[in-house]
Amino acid sequence: MQEIFYPLSVAVIGVSSKPDNLGRNIVANLVEYGFSGIVYAVGPSGGMIETRRIYRTVVDIPDHVDLAVILTPAHTVPGILEECGQKGIRWAIIETAGFREYTEAGQRLEDEIAIVAKKHGIRFVGPNCIGVINMENGFCVPFPRLKKFIKSGGVTMVTQSGGVGMAVLNLLANEGLGLNKFVSVGNMLNINAEDMLEYMIDDPGTELIFLYLESMGDGRRLMDIARRSTKPILAFKANIGKLGQNIAKSHTASLASDDSVVEAAFEQAGIIRVHDATTLGNNLKILRLPPMQGRRLAVISRSGGQAVIAADACELTGFDLAPFPDSFLREIEKNFRASVIRLTNPLDLGDLFDLELYAQIVERTLQLEGVDGVVFLHTSLSEAENLKSRLLLERLMALSQQHQKPVAYYLSAAYQEIAYLKQNYDFPIFTAVVETVRALQISHCHCCLSYRGHSGETAPSFKVNREAARELIQTGLRAGRNLLLSEALEVLEHYGIPTVRGHFASDVEEAQAAAQKIGYPVALKILAKEISHKSDAGGVQLNLRNAESLAAAFDEMFRRIREIYPHARLDGVLVQPMVIGGQELILGGRQDPQFGPVVLAGLGGIFVEIIGEAALRVAPITEREAREMLEELRGVQILKGARGHRPSDLVAVVNALLRVSQLLVDFPEIKELDINPIRVFSAGEGCRALDARVVIV
């Protein structure tokens, strides 16, 4: 990707001398931003622009050209790219729109472009993009005319939307944040967001990466790249409204909607997801400071009221207010004019007016081992204090770096003063108390995510009977059907997941014989490939205590199902022993089109979709991730033994989850898997799958 951002020569194709020509804007941007390379203007009409000759084709340029920026009508792009290939240009940015995002004819044009690029070995960004900016060398080729409105810095942006990208550039400029690189990837026909992310994590000038994504071509690769990054990665994933509209074949499919998978994948990969501009701005600002490594926070405020607001925000965000030693408080109290304020954390400095003392107090606070970060709430009382406030800010900047602890700085002052500080000081300025505290929560979350991503923990691998499971799955595939309940349970057993097996019965007499062998009470479950949810169709009969009740239940079940599914083939029933006690959970997973196998855990039973309580991870999962999935469930306290319940065997559930993860990784043929319910018994007594569905067609 180096040539995309650091070309020594560039041909801008689509330039004319007309005042409304967009190509000439690109040339003007290169001049405005001080591009250090050679710029050639190209357009079929020829002529001159800003003392530059306009070549009619790239072939007419007498010298070698590293990169072409193409902004011409869509139907001309394949031919122009062919000329670039003949000229020896191997890198391009195609800003032209009107391709697959527009019409079927546009799709055919994209196909032609791909063929030409492959023929000549051309790598390109786009089409349908707004361009690239590199602040290090002044390479700025978006087609809107841009003044140099943003300063250089460490933030790099990869965006699928040029408009959103421009809006975020305005956000950076308004907050005084510096840009390093910007790339609008458009339709990602050749170079995609994953390619760019991989380049940026090794790019020396990039300190923080922001992704705006509307789709993902290879989510698993995105995760793998992000896990290798030592730099913060933020992502705004849009286009989520229609992703869950497909009709679910299983409970798992309805719970594991695409956006839920994205949320889980980002967390596993250490990517910080943002949903709005305010959060994005806070992220971009706070992540420039040393990380908030723990939850012990000190709040120092010039206003008692703002200190109370900050304390409330700490409680809502899960921070602890660090206790201050008495010796520390007594030393500060010596500087007060009157003993009218009770000193504690938050620390109210309302009786102090010496801003130099503020800095000293912050320094002493940062030196405390029990403090992981500081929120400093400052109010500039008049213009006369502006200079002293700026000197205070400079001290806080230095102290934060010296002690490698974040100081989140809130300021209430005139708009002009705040704007001045943002533009002239390389330090985050916050103007809302609650957002200041939330920003530190972001810093702490990133610190935790980064630690997890680089912990080195790997998913376990169990000794299983893979070949026996494969044969059952292949039997279903050859027959063009999903696995029957008995087959699904057998697959689980081959992977070491305890089940409640049963006996197949094709008629009521066989069912009664099986029940006599098992011992009453028993359960009957219909076996039919056309019936997805047995309970909904009346295909489950429970707690049958004798032969007479079994016969009645058998006849009623078949009668009801034939009314609902008159053409279904009813293979028979599975007779299982009744299992009582314990708690019901659902375990399962599915194959996600972007991320591959995904594993799920949730509250089980017939209300699982109504309650919608589930935790997701992209497989393979580690033991820590399996435990975290259970901790996320709101009902976990019941499983742990709340309100007189005996603690459940969560160790057994974690083991089962890990084995489900391995099963889904081993067999991408399994589109969806439900174990619902899996009954979890008291600690040390294990768990058993009562019902399972394996969807393969």
* Domain boundaries along the sequence of the chain: 1-144, 149-273, 290-453, 501-578, 583-695
pLDDT at position 37 is 96
Q: Would you say residue 242 has pLDDT above 50? A: no
pLDDT, tens only, 305-336: 999 999 999 999 999 999 999 999 888 888 77
Handedness of CA 297, 298, 302, 307 (dihedral sign): positive
pLDDT at position 611 is 58
Average pLDDT estimate for 183-204: 96
% of the chain exceeding 70 in pLDDT? 95
pLDDT, tens only, 74-127: 999 999 999 999 999 999 999 999 998 878 898 999 999 999 999 999 999 999
Contact 269, 263 (CB under 8 A): no
pLDDT at position 385 is 87
Average pLDDT estimate for 23-42: 96
Among candidate residues 116, 143, 120, 4, the one with its CA nearest the CA of residue 66: 4
Q: Would you say residue 3 has pLDDT above 80? A: yes
* pLDDT range class, residue 640, cuts 50, 70, 90: confident
% of the chain exceeding 90 in pLDDT? 73
Write the DSSP string, 460-507: ------HHHHHHHHHHHHHHTSPPPHHHHHHHHHHTT--B---EEESS
Give residues with Cβ within 8 angstroms of 240, minimum separation 6.
Answer: 258, 259, 262
pLDDT, tens only, 345-364: 999 887 788 888 999 999 99
The least confident of 28-32, 90-94, 530-534 is: 530-534
CA distance 361 to 354: 11
Q: Would you say residue 436 has pLDDT above 80? A: yes
Q: Which residues does residue 301 pair with via DSSP β-bridges, in sequence order?
A: 348, 377
CA distances from 638 to 511, 585, 681 (A): 36, 12, 12
Q: Would you say residue 505 has pLDDT above 50? A: yes
pLDDT, tens only, 443-452: 998 888 777 6
CA distance 517 to 524: 14
pLDDT at position 370 is 94
Q: Would you say residue 63 has pLDDT above 90? A: yes
Q: What are phi and psi of 126, to 5 degrees?
A: 105, -155
Average pLDDT estimate for 380-397: 90
Q: What are phi and psi of 681, to 5 degrees?
A: -95, -175
For domain 149-273, say whether CATH 3.40.50.261 is its number: yes
The least confident of 174-178, 205-209, 533-537 is: 533-537
Q: Would you say residue 10 has pLDDT above 50? A: yes
pLDDT at position 687 is 96
Q: Would you say residue 155 has pLDDT above 90? A: yes
pLDDT at position 642 is 73
* pLDDT range class, residue 247, cuts 50, 70, 90: very low
**Runs of H (alpha helix) within 375-484:** 386-403, 415-424, 433-453, 466-479
pLDDT, tens only, 548-598: 999 999 999 999 898 888 888 888 999 999 998 889 999 999 999 889 999
Hey, what CATH class is 1-144 in? alpha beta
Give residues with Cβ within 8 angstroms of 566, minimum separation 6.
Answer: none
* pLDDT range class, residue 638, cuts 50, 70, 90: confident
pLDDT at position 612 is 63
The CATH H-level (homologous superfamily) assignment of domain 501-578 is: ATP-grasp fold, A domain (3.30.1490.20)
pLDDT at position 348 is 87
Q: Which residues does residue 54 pair with via DSSP β-bridges, in sequence order?
A: 41
Map tokens 């070698």 to a residue. 64
* pLDDT range class, residue 249, cuts 50, 70, 90: very low
Among candidate residues 285, 280, 289, the one with its CA nearest the CA of residue 176: 285
For domain 583-695, say whether CATH 3.40.50.300 is its number: no
The least confident of 202-216, 256-270, 528-542, 558-572 is: 528-542
What CATH number matches the domain at 290-453, 3.40.640.10, 3.40.50.1100, 3.40.50.261, 3.40.190.10? 3.40.50.261
Both tokens of residue 168? Answer: 């975020």
Handedness of CA 16, 19, 20, 25 (dihedral sign): positive
Average pLDDT estimate for 492-510: 94
pLDDT at position 258 is 78
Topology agreement, domain 149-273 and domain 583-695: no
Among candidate residues 586, 584, 589, the one with its CA nearest the CA of residue 602: 586
pLDDT at position 349 is 85
pLDDT at position 581 is 86
Contact 613, 633 (CB under 8 A): yes
pLDDT at position 101 is 81
Q: What distance, in Å, lies between the first and last C-alpha atoms of the chain?
A: 41
pLDDT at position 248 is 35
CA 120 to chain centre: 36
Length of the chain in residues, anyone? 697
Q: What is the average pLDDT value for the chain, to the nearest integer?
A: 90
Name which residue leads in pLDDT, 493 or 260: 493
Q: Would you say residue 614 has pLDDT above 80? A: yes
pLDDT at position 56 is 96
Among candidate residues 43, 190, 194, the one with its CA nearest the CA of residue 119: 190
* pLDDT range class, residue 608, cuts 50, 70, 90: low
Q: Would you say residue 645 has pLDDT above 80? A: no
pLDDT, tens only, 462-490: 999 999 999 999 999 999 999 988 899 99
Both tokens of residue 92? Answer: 């391009």
Q: Would you say residue 340 has pLDDT above 80? A: no
